[in-house]
Amino acid sequence: MAAFSFELVSPERLMFSGQVESVVVPGTEGAFTVLKDHAPLMSTLKPGIVEIAESASKTQRLFVRGGFADVSPTGLTILAEQAIPVEELDAARIELQIKDAGEDVADAKSDEARRLANEKLEQLREVRAALKI
């Protein structure tokens, strides 16, 4: 498979930079896979897993919480609000965040606050499902 340039940047640091064969991106309109010579595209990200295939035998998975993906003729760049290698995620911490988000839904004082809290809760549940915890 042909390789292309990919960078994933979080506020803390450059999480990945190099040549890859494919990247699966959790776009807000649905997950999409980027391969070499993908059509130009910009997308917002929802919390989820970015799957990076450097080669058929070498892959990485990173959890991202929001951000942007930019596919250009020079490659793919992801600017993530937060990025953490999947192996560093703590199942207990995610369960606590789900519990807190559920309480936020119950405590919401307006329809908009309730909608936003429900959205966050659903995203956390998606992360738990993606991680198979």
- 133 residues of the chain, pLDDT tens digit each: 789 999 999 998 999 999 999 999 999 999 999 999 999 999 999 888 999 999 889 999 998 888 999 999 999 999 999 898 988 887 888 899 899 999 999 999 999 999 999 988 987 887 787 676 5
pLDDT value of residue 133: 59
Cα-to-chain-centroid distance, residue 68: 9
Read off the tokens for 119. 């959205």
Q: What is the DSSP string of 22-42?
A: EEEEEETTEEEEE-TTPPPEE
Side-chain-facing half-sphere of 5: CA atoms under 13 Å: 7
Distant-in-sequence contacts of 84-91, Cβ < 8 A, 24+ apart = 85/15, 85/60, 85/61, 86/49, 86/61, 86/62, 86/131, 89/63, 89/131, 91/131, 91/133
> Which H/E stretch holds residue 61?
strand 58-64
pLDDT value of residue 82: 87
Closest CA to 70 of 7, 21, 28, 113: 7
Contact 53, 20 (CB under 8 A): yes
Question: What's the CA gap between 10 and 98, in Å, rounded?
Answer: 23
Read off the tokens for 112. 């908009």
CA distances, 61 to each of 24, 53, 96, 98, 103 (Å): 10, 9, 22, 21, 29
